[in-house]
Chain A
Amino acid sequence: MAHDDNWLKLHDWISEKMNNCDGALIPMSPDKIQRRPEPELDYQVMLESASRTMIRFKRPERLIKVIVRIIDEQVKVSHTAMLVFQKDKNAFVLVDSKGAEGIKIPVGYIRLATDNPLVRVFQERHNYKIFETGAMEYKSLLDALNRHEVFKKNEDLRDMFERALAQMELLKSNICVPIYYKKDLMGVFVLGKKLSNLKFTRQEIGFFTTLANDVAMAMANAQLIQDLQDKIYEVHNLYEREHKIFIHTSISLAAAIDARDPYTHGHTERVTRISLVIADELRDMPEALAYRNFKETLHVASLLHDVGKIGVPDSILNKKGPLTKEEYEKVKEHAVTGAAILYPIRELGDIAREVRGHHERFDGMGYPDGLKGDDIPFISKIIAVADTFDAITSDRPYRQKKMAEIAMQIIRDNSGTQFDPIVVSAFLLAYRKNRFQDIL
């Protein structure tokens, strides 16, 4: 029973180590870990528990460290190391190593080429011809080389195994355990001799091979997660970059529109900033949440709200004095023109309707479609308020502060007729907080 006790201790130890890994693991629910196993419980049950937790490791290096530590501290061997295949080096690199008595091979210092006999024996699965467990033990291999039938018949195989044995000598390994994922050799446990100098028992070898299976699964898992995270990061970066270009393009376009109209210089920029301030007060409204990205849509829509002015002749835009009815009709077209310009652009398709609606009135008396109340896009209503506020406050011979006060009163007075009352109250809230001070 002494032996069983050791396995039980190991079980507890693994569970504890696995669960103490700085949040690298999702803790298992207590009912899944059998705290007080029955006496007949064998190491398989323990391994199941270990593997269930192992699979949750997100970083392969951490997992390898824990595994090597488990073997080193619990199985009492002179040294423990792990070779792992690294694609970029096309070799098996010694990634972790621990040894109380034997050699401690420095991490990342040694590699085994893919044509290394030890690697080939495992890669081509010749080890199964000799050892049913798949693990290769130095002494047994030495015996087998002298006695086993297969070596008498096959010189090449004998040669390869002899050279594999020489590799084990180089690595001072008493037992090598292959780690397979599906059909590929992923790595090799390289273990020294037992400190007790005894032979490895079948049970111990079984423990190593099962552990190797679990490690393979966990590593493949961790690798998948890593790949996925890299991918997400990459896509995110790509998006960020494209997005920046997109916003900058919108800004340049807006600046181009502004430049054509000497009377409203800086208008677009101010409307955008005013809109964003109002939007800040509205961001938790259901109408705002209905947008996939409310703030960004508003940002771009307000930058481009007058893009249709491109279609209004200079002679009208630059005209001093009042416009004729025909000229005014021409100016009014800019809402439709703007939407028509933006509509075909995939990224701006949604913004087209916001731009088209920025001269609609809450009471249905606006243009171009005479939309009423909630039929008017929410962002259009915000731009409408911001547009009016800026039109009144800018480019007037009066003192700014006075004009802002007048503009505020006009907007308040037109709440429910020209403007949506919700947007107006948000505007008034921001106004009272002095949030437009820097913009005007």
Chain B
Amino acid sequence: MMKLLVVDDEVDVCDFVRKFFRERNFEVKIAHDGRGAVEVVRAEDPDIVLLDLKMPVMGGIEALREIRELGKTCKVVIVTALEDMASVDEARSFGAVDYITKPLLLEQLERTVLTLAEQVRTETC
């Protein structure tokens, strides 16, 4: 089963996205800040990470850098506010593969993650 990590400081967001992707046959892990995200990546080795940029304790960019330092190659999708395109560029330089802007389009969320899942599948074959 494809493993997805959802990182967002809002509990409601995590619950919603977890439900959404469980119904699409994903195993979903949750983290509420950058520090937690790094821990989950280390322990669980997810295939795809949905990473919110603005979080307390450790922000998304910082977490992304640490994830890369761990040598993990999981596909990271940045979730950020429409206004904050500068951070997207920064995240891309740390190997984020895609981004979604908030408030997000459900079909975009679905399409982005499903496409990446497909990629992971073909790469591992």
User: Which residues of A approach B to under 8 Å, CB–CB?
Assistant: 89, 91, 93-94, 103-113, 116, 167, 170-171
Task: Give chain B's interface residue range (CB within 8 Å of chain A).
Answer: 10 to 19
Question: Do residues B103 and A108 form an inter-chain contact, with CB atoms below 8 A?
Answer: yes
Residues of A within 8 A of B82 (CB): 89
Question: Do residues B16 and A105 form an inter-chain contact, with CB atoms below 8 A?
Answer: yes
CA–CA, A421 to B64, complex, Å? 82
CA–CA, A245 to B107, complex, Å? 54
Cβ contacts A to B, 13 pairs, < 8 Å:
A91-B103, A104-B12, A106-B10, A106-B13, A108-B103, A109-B104, A110-B105, A111-B105, A112-B105, A167-B106, A167-B107, A170-B107, A171-B106
CA–CA, A111 to B106, complex, Å? 8
Taking the complex as formed, is B42 at the interface, i.e. its CB lies under 8 A from any CB of chain A?
Answer: no
Please pick, from B10, B19, B104, the residue contacting A110 in the complex, using a CB distance under 8 A: B104
CA–CA, A114 to B45, complex, Å? 38
User: Which residues of B approach A to under 8 Å, CB–CB?
Assistant: 10, 12-13, 15-16, 19-20, 82, 102-107, 110
Known contacts A89-B82, A103-B16, A104-B12, A109 near B110 by CB under 8 Å: no
CA–CA, A111 to B105, complex, Å? 5
Known contacts A106-B10, A106-B12, A106-B13, A170 near B19 by CB under 8 Å: no
CA–CA, A106 to B16, complex, Å? 7
Residues of B within 8 A of A112 (CB): 105
Q: How many A-B residue pairs have CB under 8 A?
A: 43
CA–CA, A183 to B43, complex, Å? 55
Residues of B within 8 A of A109 (CB): 10, 12-13, 16, 102-104
Please indicate which of the listed interface residues B102, B105, B106 has the most CB atoms of chain A within 10 Å of its own CB: B106
Task: Identify the closest chain A residue to B12 (Cβ).
Answer: A106
Q: Which 9 A-B pairs have the closest CB atoms?
A: A111-B103, A106-B12, A106-B13, A170-B106, A93-B103, A110-B103, A108-B103, A105-B16, A109-B13
CA–CA, A110 to B15, complex, Å? 14
CA–CA, A94 to B19, complex, Å? 17
Task: Identify the closest chain A residue to B108 (Cβ).
Answer: A113
Residues of A within 8 A of B16 (CB): 103-106, 109
Residues of A within 8 A of B102 (CB): 108-109
CA–CA, A95 to B106, complex, Å? 15
CA–CA, A111 to B16, complex, Å? 14
Question: Do residues B103 and A89 form an inter-chain contact, with CB atoms below 8 A?
Answer: yes
Residues of B within 8 A of A105 (CB): 12, 16
CA–CA, A182 to B80, complex, Å? 35
Residues of B within 8 A of A167 (CB): 106-107
Task: Identify the closest chain A residue to B101 (Cβ).
Answer: A111
Residues of A within 8 A of B12 (CB): 104-107, 109
CA–CA, A171 to B13, complex, Å? 14
Minimum CB–CB distance from B96 to chain A (whole Å) comes to 20
Residues of A within 8 A of B13 (CB): 106, 109
Residues of B within 8 A of A89 (CB): 82, 103
Question: Do residues A111 and B104 form an inter-chain contact, with CB atoms below 8 A?
Answer: yes
CA–CA, A232 to B102, complex, Å? 32
Task: Identify the closest chain B residue to A171 (Cβ).
Answer: B106
Residues of B within 8 A of A171 (CB): 106
Task: Identify the closest chain A residue to B107 (Cβ).
Answer: A170
Residues of B within 8 A of A113 (CB): 105
Further 6 A-B residue pairs, CB within 8 A, beyond A89-B82, A111-B103: A94-B103, A106-B10, A108-B102, A109-B102, A110-B103, A113-B105
Minimum CB–CB distance from B60 to chain A (whole Å) comes to 16
Task: Identify the closest chain A residue to B109 (Cβ).
Answer: A110
Residues of B within 8 A of A107 (CB): 12
CA–CA, A108 to B20, complex, Å? 17
CA–CA, A170 to B16, complex, Å? 12
CA–CA, A111 to B79, complex, Å? 14
CA–CA, A93 to B10, complex, Å? 17
Question: Do residues B105 and A104 form an inter-chain contact, with CB atoms below 8 A?
Answer: no
Question: Do residues A170 and B104 form an inter-chain contact, with CB atoms below 8 A?
Answer: no
Residues of A within 8 A of B107 (CB): 167, 170
Task: Identify the closest chain A residue to B82 (Cβ).
Answer: A89
Question: Do residues A103 and B19 form an inter-chain contact, with CB atoms below 8 A?
Answer: yes
Minimum CB–CB distance from A71 to chain B (whole Å) comes to 19
CA–CA, A167 to B108, complex, Å? 12
Minimum CB–CB distance from A98 to chain B (whole Å) comes to 11
CA–CA, A54 to B13, complex, Å? 30
CA–CA, A105 to B28, complex, Å? 17
Residues of B within 8 A of A108 (CB): 102-103
